[in-house]
Structure 1
Amino acid sequence: FRFFVYSAYVERRTVVAVRIIAATKTRGADSAIRENWNLKFSASYVLCLLADSGVKPHETVGASVAVLASDKLNSLPTNLLIVQDTEPKPGIEDNLHICVKPFHFSFNRFDWLVEWFEINRLLGASHFYMYNQSLSSSVECLLDDYRKQGLITLLSWQLPILSKVEIRTEGQFAAFNDCLYRSMSRTGWLLVIDVDEVVFPRRERTLPALLTSLRASYQPRSKAPSAFLFRNAFFYLKWEDDPEANTPLLTSRKTRRWSTPHSLKNRSKYALRPRDAVELGNHFVWELAPGSSSVGVNTDRALLHHYRINCEFGGLTCLQVPSTIDRTAHWWKDELMERVGVQHKRLEAAGCFQKVVDQ
């Protein structure tokens, strides 16, 4: 029997409890997170109910909690977790943070990751939550520099369950939902994407401006959705470079995409108000708090650009799908090129480029 716990948070909305992020066998788990692909193990929740305990939610913040698989009162806990608060702090309404799934396979896309960070910062992101299963030394150096700037929370992610055989990709659903509760007190908006994806608005310069505009279109404001889903379009990296690109940036060079984006909930990604969400999936929100809703965003307002290296099922047949040129990313290219250059100088001074050569 294997049961692993990672973090603990105060829950005040659907139930008064301490919510623990865990992973265990899918069959028999009381609160298995729904997106588990029918594999043997699943991310799950453990709810430590407070209703009859005499303990108020705010009194649990900073306390320790453990899960014991024993009915013996003298059993010693081996998995103590510090309970973290989820009450939103003042002044966070316009913040946008980003959550990504765990890095694995010694992730080493150094140049692209710099560009990805900087385009997302241009688009309004102010903090990133990342989980490290394995990184190349150069990317580890890169992330350490961003961490020192206060831009990322980098968490160790060593789950002793076999990825893609026993549990879905590095237990990513546990990471997504840890990210949800970890960010809840810190940001008004959370964007859940992968590091080969960027959400580009079509009218606004930033994503917070887009999200504010989308919510403002609902009257009364109390009816405004709490989550917005963005349709996905593949920009295959094996398609030709754009002859109009005058920078080496990937987002400038790779402008050919699928003519017809995927339908909603099929490879879509989303931005949400963390305080209104209960359970996250990969491509949509599984559960929102009572009274909250999610909607899709029209592609004339925003689109998820998915810069994919390989065809989904191998081979090269995907390159034959109907495609079109989309230069939306060029709107940011000059400022992005400048920011990438500044960051490269920082990373060179930190010795990160030497690690790229050595790896």
Structure 2
Amino acid sequence: PLLLLFTFSDFSMQNYIPRHEWPTVTCPFLVSQQTITPIDDTRHLLVSGYMDQRVKGLDVRIISIFNKNATHPMHCLFCCAGSLSTSTPASVFPHRENFGFPYVTTDVMCQIPQYPTKPSNHTWLPLRNRNKHLSDQEQLKFNFTVCISNLFGDYDNVLQFVQTLEMYRLLGVDRVVIYKTSCGRNLDRVLQIYSQEGFLEVVPWPIDKYLNPSPGWLFSRSGGDVHYFGQMTTLNECIYRSMERSCYVLLNDMDEIIMPYQHNNLMSLMDALQTQHPETGVFLIENQIFSKTIFEPSRRFHLPQWERVPGVNILEHIYKEKPNRRISHRYKMIIQPRMVEQTSVHRVIKTFSNKVKVPVDICGIIHVRDSYQEPGYKDFRMDKHLWDFQELLIPRVDEVLKKVELYKDYDD
């Protein structure tokens, strides 16, 4: 099935045709192959369309980016099995969290009609998630998918990226999806290696072709058209992209690892959590900041073969901030994608299930980055849990670095 979203000015009653002419109608050939598709004569952008019958009376959800200051009556037109439908009015639902930016993640909902009309010369979107009967988790291809929302600028943190992806492999992740606007040359080679292996899905994200994307999360601080290169749009798109193929989706950033502390892998963790919370589809995992400026004193993991590799070595940073419970604490999420309708970065906006905060001694986020505290701050605590994986992790990282020719063999 294909979908066209258009303004009322693009369509008129004269396009309707009588029933006896239905067999002569054929579908259009101009189908969008892009991840971002502008709507003609508007300031709005379409990303992807999905069948979604969880909301009564609405059959299709289009993940979009709309300018909240520009309003247009929108209509949907469908092409299915060689026939075109009549148009139906679209319901437009901007996500309520936009951090002050003029462009906001928006769900456009449509109902599939019954009668055909004449073809249109506009660009059409393919519809995904058409399996209405998929309800058994055994039918899903993956147990875990990690959604990494945005890659932009000349980001080239190769060592931490490879360590993170290999840690996720050890923890049982099947697929990583990343939305790429741009990156550094070395990291681009790493992306190609993981893509060729099938572990990584790189989704082109040319948001800078259409908008002035902000590198920050708050409009009043950083300006721009849309929050953090469209982060909330890509997170929502990744949920729907994964809905018919992954039991769980992890929503987090490139420098974060969702780490179980009492289980050997993520599947064992989720089996335990789902047994305790059977009606829950959203699990909030607490962020833990590991300072990248404080090094483990013995430097035992300052490995010579990684000296020329750009990026942070997460094995060298084992000191984490003591959380300040007097202020709001940030979380990332493990979700069942079919239980979520809309999400923001640190919380779901609309869900069909319960939510639960997972105690940090059961699961937490290892987030190696600049600390919010000074290096001499006394309330850092040691956490060596990553070292439990070092015997398996280091050879895996070495293997990837050899493939991208960043590994230095000191035995030569």
Under TM normalisation by the shorter chain, which class is it? Answer: 0.7 to 0.9
1:65 matched residue in structure 2:
none
> In 2, Cα distance between the equivalents of 1:44 and 1:106?
29
Query: Which of 362, 377, 380 in structure 2 is aligned with 1:301?
Result: 362
Give the SS at the match of 1:338. helix
Q: Secondary structure at the match of 1:14?
A: coil
What secondary structure, in the 3-state scheme, does the structure 1 residue paired with 2:230 have? helix
1:82 to 107, 118, 126: 126
Aligned to 1:282: 345
Q: 1:91 aligns with which of 139, 144, 147?
A: 139
Residues 1:340 and 2:397 are matched in the alignment: yes
Map of 1:198-209 to 2, 5 A cutoff?
Answer: 198-209=257-268
Matched, 1:234 2:294: no
Instruction: State how far apart, in whole Å, the 2-side matches of 1:319 and 1:102 are.
Output: 33
Alignment deviations for residues 70-93 of structure 1 (CA, whole Å, 9 cap, x no partner): xxx886313x21111164474338
Distance in 2 separating the partners of 1:321 and 1:2 = 51
Aligned 8 A contact 1:128 1:151 in 2: yes
Cα distance between partner residues in 2 of 1:286 and 1:264: 21
User: Shift in Å at residue 295 of structure 1?
Assistant: 0.5
Aligned length: 321
1:337: Cα distance to partner? 0.7
Q: Partner of 1:49 in structure 2?
A: 111
How many Å apart are 1:262 and its aligned residue?
6.5
8 A contact 2:178–2:200 mirrored in 1: yes
> Partner residue of 1:186?
245
SS in structure 2 of the partner of residue 334 of structure 1: helix
Question: In 1, Cα distance between the equivalents of 2:176 and 2:317?
Answer: 24
| Aligned AA (1:22) | S
- Given that residues 145 and 246 in structure 2 are in contact (C-alpha distance below 8 angstroms), is that contact kept between their aligned partners in structure 1? yes
Distance 1:214 1:85 in 2: 27
Tell me, yes or no, if structure 1 residue 137 matches structure 2 residue 185. Answer: yes
Q: For 1:297, give the aligned amino acid.
A: V
Alignment check: 8 A CA contact 1:247 1:337 kept: no
TM-superposed CA distance for 1:273, in Å, is 0.4
* 1:193–1:86 Cα change, 3 Å: farther
How do 1:248-287 and structure 2 match up within 5 A? 248=303, 250-260=313-323, 266-287=329-350
Classify the secondary structure of the residue corresponding to 2:139: coil
What is the distance in 1 between the residues matched to 2:386 and 2:233?
A: 32
Distance 1:86 1:269, change over 3 A: farther
1:14 aligns with 2:64: no
1:323 aligns with 2:371: no
Q: Residue 342 of structure 2 contacts residue 351 of structure 2 at CA under 8 Å; is this kept in 1?
A: yes
Alignment deviations for residues 321-350 of structure 1 (CA, whole Å, 9 cap, x no partner): 6211111111111111121122223333xx
Within-5 A mapping of 1:101-120: 101-120=149-168
* Equivalent residue for 2:274, pick from 215, 220, 229: 215
Q: What CA deviation, in whole Å up to 9, does each residue of 1:95-142 have, x standing for no partner?
A: 111001110112211122111110111111110111111112221111
RMSD, aligned CA: 2.5
More deviation in 185-194 or 32-41? 32-41
Name which of structure 1's ranges 262-271 and 133-142 shifts more when overlaid on structure 2: 262-271
| Partner Cα distance (1:120, 1:217) in 2 | 24
CA contact (8 A) 1:99 1:128 kept: yes
| Offset, 1:217 | 2.0
Counterparts of 1:154 and 1:264 in 2: how far apart (Å)? 36
**Deviation of 1:251 (Å):** 2.8
The structure carrying a bigger strand percent of its residues is 2
Q: CA deviation at 1:28?
A: 6.0
SS where residue 364 of structure 2 aligns?
A: strand
The CA distance in 1 between the partners of 2:52 and 2:326, in whole Å, is: 33
What secondary structure is seen at the aligned counterpart in 2 of 1:336?
helix
CA distance, structure 1, for counterparts of residue 342 and residue 327 of structure 2: 18
Is the contact between residue 229 and residue 264 of structure 1 (CA under 8 Å) also seen in structure 2? no
SS in structure 2 at match of 1:200: strand
Instruction: Look up the SS of the partner of 2:149 in the other structure.
Output: coil
* 8 Å Cα contact 2:282-2:333 kept in structure 1: yes
The CA distance in 2 between the partners of 1:127 and 1:91, in whole Å, is 16
What is the TM-score when the length of structure 1 is the normalising length? 0.82
Larger radius of gyration: 2
1:33/1:45 contact within 8 Å kept: yes
Identity %: 21
Give the match for residue 211 of structure 2. Answer: 161
- 1:267 to partner: Cα distance: 2.3
> How far apart are the structure 2 equivalents of 1:263 and 1:121?
35
SS of equivalent to 1:47: strand
- Counterpart of 1:31 in 2: which secondary structure? strand
